[in-house]
């Protein structure tokens, strides 16, 4: 099975390291960006199976990133997971419902994140467990 490509977008270095390490050990190829503008540049240069983005970031936040992705690639939003630590997901509920993006509240557990990413990338739980073991 080909390695799935993940783009993690987060301006907090500690959280970005957590995402990168947690997904690398699950067998994914992980690329990183520290804001939405940098993420768009990377997306323009290559395809990603899943994009995980913080909501609040400098330069271009996660909501603006989603809007830009929707304008550029009509099917891109189905591959996006937003992470929010800004109170609650309900703060952004109208937008999330409008664009159909999945959101997870921080702090998110590593196993839950891996499960969500695996589902979005089309990887079964058995395949995910096998890639961690071997």
21 in any annotated domain: yes
Block residue for tokens 């390291």: 17
Distance CA 91, CA 26 (A): 31
How far is the CA of 85 from the CAs of 10, 107, 134, in angstroms?
12, 7, 34
Number of domains the chain is built from: 1
Q: Which residues of 21-31 are buried (b: 16+ CB within 10 A; e: fewer)?
A: ebbeebbbebb
78 in any annotated domain: yes
132 in any annotated domain: no
Q: What is the CATH number of the domain that holds 100?
A: 3.40.50.2300
Q: What is the pTM of this model?
A: 0.85
Start-to-end CA span in the chain (Å): 13
Dump pLDDT digits (tens) for 71-123: 988 788 889 999 987 555 666 677 777 777 888 888 899 999 999 999 998 86
28 in any annotated domain: yes
Provide the residue range defining the domain that includes 87: 5-109+116-127
Please state the φ and ψ torsions of residue 8, each to the nearest 5 degrees.
-105, 125
């Amino acid at each position: 099975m080909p390695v799935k490509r993940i783009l993690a977008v987060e301006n907090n270095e500690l959280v970005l390291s957590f995402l990168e390490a947690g997904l690398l050990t699950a067998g994914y190829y992980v690329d990183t960006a520290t804001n939405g503008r940098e993420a768009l540049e990377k997306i323009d240069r290559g395809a990603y199976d899943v994009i995980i983005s913080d909501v609040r970031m400098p330069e271009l936040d996660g909501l603006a990133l989603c809007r830009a992705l929707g304008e550029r690639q009509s099917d891109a939003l189905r591959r996006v997971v937003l992470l929010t630590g800004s109170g609650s997901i309900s703060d952004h509920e109208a937008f999330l419902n409008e664009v159909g993006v999945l959101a997870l509240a921080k702090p998110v557990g590593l196993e839950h994140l891996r499960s969500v990413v695996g589902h979005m990338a089309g990887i079964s739980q058995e395949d995910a467990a096998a890639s961690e073991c071997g």
